């Protein structure tokens, strides 16, 4: 088996999830054994010692491997030594990523976006403003491809000549691009990434899991609108737990649709506010912190002077 087939086989072994795959890859790396030899006699012993039973996979993987090759999908594995990633990213990324498109974007300094699928019109305007500014400064835009804030961020980045990474909540062979994104899609500037088995269907649990991957790929996170529960709020919590700078829209009017923003600000998120001079979101602090790597998220200073609440309702 080649590397791709070996990884697919590992992922299909009964009872094997990301944690065991990570341990297996670490054991192979420590022994300086190529991944392709994981199912050799000595490789099987290493797998067993790392808690992976190298039995027969639950289903054949040959046709899946062929599909991935045909679509030009790359298989990236921990510890991602080929990529100049911050240690925080390496430790929080899943052990396997399937990637289609310009893979260099995995290590490109990026800003992540999250927000409600049913964001207000004003919220979408702010998401577009921030995505435009971020792209203009050379940052890659990372989000989850869902309707609302996600698609607005992806679409704006591409419209403004920037790049974007879509982190999927399903297998990469199951992904169907939304029409709004397809209208501006550029394969040279759009990376699709999935941590799930290539034919895995979308389920809510996978959407929650991929939100942590969005954080891991980002130098800073932007949260537009969040209720006090749900996926967007959980993404904000994940960013804070990773020590990732989290920038949250500072609403002047408190509504149920943005109650999560207030809670996250109280827990250490940095307020996103509007510049009085430009009328746009003031991102000076975001750009400063997004440039940092190992120390990212260590500072939680305020947003500065000469600003007002980002949202006025």
CATH number at residue 209: 3.40.50.450
Provide mean pLDDT across the span 215-238.
94
Give the residue from 71, 88, 112 where a domain finishes.
71
CA proximity to 96, closest of 222, 10, 37: 10
Give the number of other CB atoms < 10 A from CB of residue 234. Answer: 17
Q: Angle at CA 88, nearest 5°, toward 144 and 7? A: 65
Residue 251 lies in a domain: yes
Evaluate whether residue 86 is within a structural domain: no
Q: What is the share, in percent, of the chain residues with pLDDT greater than 70?
A: 90
At 107-132, the pLDDT tens digits run 999 999 999 888 888 889 999 999 99
At residue 81, the pLDDT reads 82
List, in sequence order, every residue forming a beta bridge with 141; answer none if it has no partner: 111, 164
Same domain, 31 and 124: no
Q: Is 255 helix (H, G, I), strand (E, B) or coil?
A: coil
Contact 57, 12 (CB under 8 A): yes
Cα dist. 68→10, 73, 176, 190, 271 in Å? 16, 5, 15, 17, 42
| 150 and 271 housed in the same domain | yes
The pTM for the full model equals 0.90
Instruction: Work out how many domains the chain is built from and give that number.
Output: 2
116/61 same-domain check: no
Point out which residues pair with 111 in neighbouring strands. 141, 220
Give the pairing type, strands 270-275 and 307-309: antiparallel
Residue 25 pLDDT greater than 90, yes or no? yes
- Residue 258 and residue 172 share a domain: yes
Please compute the mean of the pLDDT values over residues 61-75 and round it to a whole number: 95
pLDDT at res. 170:
97
Q: How large is the average pLDDT for residues 201-229?
A: 94
Q: Is the pLDDT of residue 292 over 90?
A: no
Cα dist. 191→143, 185, 248 in Å?
11, 10, 25
**Residue 82 in domain:** no
Q: Evaluate whether residue 185 is within a structural domain.
A: yes
**Are 54 and 108 within one domain?**
no
Final residue belonging to a domain, choices 50, 71, 92: 71
Tell whether 123 is covered by a domain.
yes
Q: Are residues 67 and 170 in the same domain?
A: no
Give the whole-angstrom CA distance, residue 276 versus residue 89. Answer: 35
Burial category of 201 from C-beta neighbours within 10 Å (exposed 0-12, middle 13-18, buried 19 and up): exposed
Residue 295 or 62, more confident: 62
Query: pLDDT tens digits, residue range 161-208?
Result: 999 999 999 999 999 999 999 999 999 999 999 999 999 999 999 999
Q: Could you list the residue range(s) of the whole structural domain that residue 303 is in?
A: 103-309
Per-residue model confidence as pLDDT tens digits over 253-288: 666 678 899 999 999 999 999 888 888 999 999 999
- pLDDT, mean over the chain: 89
């Amino acid at each position: 088996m080649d590397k791709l087939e070996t990884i697919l086989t590992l992922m299909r072994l009964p009872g094997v999830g990301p944690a065991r795959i990570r341990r297996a890859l670490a054991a192979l790396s420590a022994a300086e054994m190529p991944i392709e030899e994981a199912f050799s006699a000595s490789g099987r012993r290493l797998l067993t010692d790392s808690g992976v039973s190298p039995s027969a996979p639950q289903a054949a993987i040959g046709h899946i491997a062929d599909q991935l090759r045909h679509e030009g999908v790359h298989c990236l594995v921990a510890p991602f030594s080929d990529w100049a990633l911050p240690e925080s990213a390496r430790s929080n990324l899943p052990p396997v990523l399937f990637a289609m498109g310009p893979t260099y974007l995995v290590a490109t300094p990026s800003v992540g976006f999250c927000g409600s699928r049913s964001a207000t019109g004003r919220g979408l305007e702010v998401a577009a403003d921030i995505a435009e500014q971020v792209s203009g400064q050379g940052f890659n835009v990372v989000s989850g491809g869902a309707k609302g804030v996600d698609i607005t961020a992806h679409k704006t980045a591409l419209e403004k000549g920037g790049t974007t990474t879509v982190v999927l909540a399903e297998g990469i062979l199951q992904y169907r691009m939304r029409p709004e994104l397809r209208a501006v899609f550029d394969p040279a500037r759009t990376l699709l990434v999935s941590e799930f088995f290539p034919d895995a269907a979308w389920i809510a649990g996978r959407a929650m899991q991929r939100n942590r991957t969005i954080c891991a790929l980002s130098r800073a996170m932007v949260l537009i609108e969040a209720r006090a529960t749900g996926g967007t709020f959980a993404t904000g919590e994940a960013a804070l737990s990773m020590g990732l700078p989290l920038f949250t829209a500072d609403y002047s009017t408190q509504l149920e649709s943005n109650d999560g923003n207030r809670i996250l600000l109280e827990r250490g998120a940095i307020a996103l506010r509007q510049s009085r001079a430009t009328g746009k979101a003031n991102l000076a602090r975001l750009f400063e912190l997004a440039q940092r790597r190992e120390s990212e998220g260590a500072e939680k200073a305020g947003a500065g002077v000469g600003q007002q609440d980002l949202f006025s309702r």
